[in-house]
């Protein structure tokens, strides 16, 4: 599902949820929109190789399962804008500029306003209270749609990113690379209506689960958050994958029995703890690449998770931005967004 979480990715050779995530990660294992090799985040090498436990979502070594993202420029033209500080948030179907200069301006403005709205929501760096304000939801959706577009249009993206400040350009390349890689894993479905979508648990509650699991198993909370982001868009997708993986972290029944520690696969706290348990048993935090490859047998998936985790580490506001990215589904008749405004 896209990095927002797109609903139809392959796990190993089986399909599952994760590419939604509209999200992010790896064009051919880390290329930027211009085709230049993008530095993928590194992780410590493991001291000793051993057979990883079965993938949570397939019950076999490795898994992959994503829902793809696309990024067509469409929707209605933007209404005349007021001053930058007074402008209304973009409409859910706001047009994505195709001109590189205008695209760069839209991404820079949207990211700045999104971060400002997140600061208002979290108390300028604190923990979010309650659900996200509409300004956060709409700015995050527009940001997500821009990155979906850049993932589909590498030439325009490369020229646009060259116009951005260095820090934002690096973030844009990471997000675009991640989404493009997950799109390559996307497997179109015939009918998007079979997916059951609900509101996700509160961002603050999930953050507590991620940090509690980090304290117990040593797996960084940013990595755990990125896994849930890729798998089910922070729990928005409630239906099982077609191979039977369940819950917000997508576990097969047999793998859950081994690593779920007696919990409920559908409970976010239990699922996050089990994922940390599984990743730790597979080599994390010593070797995140090996552990994530066991979780999902795809190099693109591994890169996507690490790229998103890197962005959350660089700026915690990106956790709240990703939390508000929506679920897109690639169907045999085209792409549909099935969550959000």
Q: Would residue 25 count as lying in a domain?
A: yes
Do 326 and 339 touch, CB atoms closer than 8 A?
yes
For 94, the token pair is 């706001």
74 has pLDDT over 80: no
CA distance 180 to 304: 9
Do 67 and 24 touch, CB atoms closer than 8 A?
no
Does the CA dihedral 174-213-67-192 come out positive or negative? negative
Q: Domain range for residue 39?
A: 9-43+55-73+95-337
Rounded to the nearest angstrom, the gap between the alpha carbon of residue 132 and the centroid of all alpha carbons in its chain is: 18
* 247: helix, strand or coil: coil
Do 297 and 290 touch, CB atoms closer than 8 A?
no
Q: Would residue 49 count as lying in a domain?
A: no
* 297: helix, strand or coil: coil
**Nearest C-alpha neighbor of 148 from the set 171, 123, 175, 169:** 175
The whole-model pTM stands at: 0.81
216 has pLDDT over 50: yes
Q: Would residue 48 count as lying in a domain?
A: no
Averaged pLDDT for residues 195-222 = 97
Largest Cα–Cα separation, the chain: 60
Pick the residue with more confidence: 99 or 61?
Answer: 99
Q: Would residue 82 count as lying in a domain?
A: no
326 has pLDDT over 50: yes
Q: Would residue 88 count as lying in a domain?
A: no
Q: What is the pLDDT of residues 275-318, one digit of tens each?
A: 999 999 999 999 999 999 999 999 999 999 999 999 999 999 99
Crossing angle for the helix pair 288-295 and 221-232, nearest 10 degrees?
20
Q: What is the pLDDT of residues 176-204, one digit of tens each?
A: 999 999 888 888 888 888 899 999 999 99
Q: Would residue 143 count as lying in a domain?
A: yes
């Amino acid at each position: 599902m896209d990095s927002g979480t797109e609903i139809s990715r392959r796990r190993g050779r089986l399909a599952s949820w994760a590419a939604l995530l509209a999200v992010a990660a790896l064009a051919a294992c880390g290329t930027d929109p211009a085709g230049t090799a993008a530095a993928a985040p590194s992780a410590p090498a493991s001291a000793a190789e051993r057979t990883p436990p079965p993938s949570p979502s397939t019950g076999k070594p490795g898994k992959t399962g994503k829902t793809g993202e696309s990024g067509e420029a469409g929707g209605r033209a933007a209404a005349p804008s007021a001053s930058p500080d007074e402008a209304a948030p973009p409409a859910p179907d706001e047009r994505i500029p195709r001109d590189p200069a205008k695209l760069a301006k839209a991404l820079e403005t949207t990211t700045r306003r999104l971060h400002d709205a997140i600061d208002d929501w979290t108390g300028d760096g604190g923990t979010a209270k309650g659900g996200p304000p509409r300004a956060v939801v709409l700015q995050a959706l527009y940001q997500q749609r821009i990155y979906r577009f850049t993932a589909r249009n590498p030439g325009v993206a490369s020229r646009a990113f060259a116009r951005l400040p260095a820090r934002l350009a690096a973030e844009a390349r990471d997000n675009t690379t991640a989404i493009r890689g997950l799109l390559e894993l996307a497997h179109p479905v015939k009918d998007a209506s079979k997916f059951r979508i609900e509101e996700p648990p509160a961002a603050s509650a999930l953050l507590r689960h991620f940090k509690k699991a980090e304290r117990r198993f040593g797996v960084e909370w940013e990595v755990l958050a990125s896994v849930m982001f890729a798998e089910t868009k922070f729990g928005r997708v409630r239906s099982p994958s077609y191979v039977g993986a369940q819950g917000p972290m997508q576990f097969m029944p047999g793998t859950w029995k081994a690593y779920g520690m007696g919990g409920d696969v559908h409970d976010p706290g239990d699922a996050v703890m089990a994922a940390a348990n599984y990743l730790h048993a597979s080599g994390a935090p010593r070797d995140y690449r090996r552990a994530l490859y066991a979780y999902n047998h795809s190099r693109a998936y591994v890169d996507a998770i690490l790229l998103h985790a890197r962005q959350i580490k660089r700026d915690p506001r990106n956790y709240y931005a990703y939390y508000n990215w929506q679920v897109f589904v690639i169907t045999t008749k085209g792409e549909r967004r099935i969550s959000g405004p």
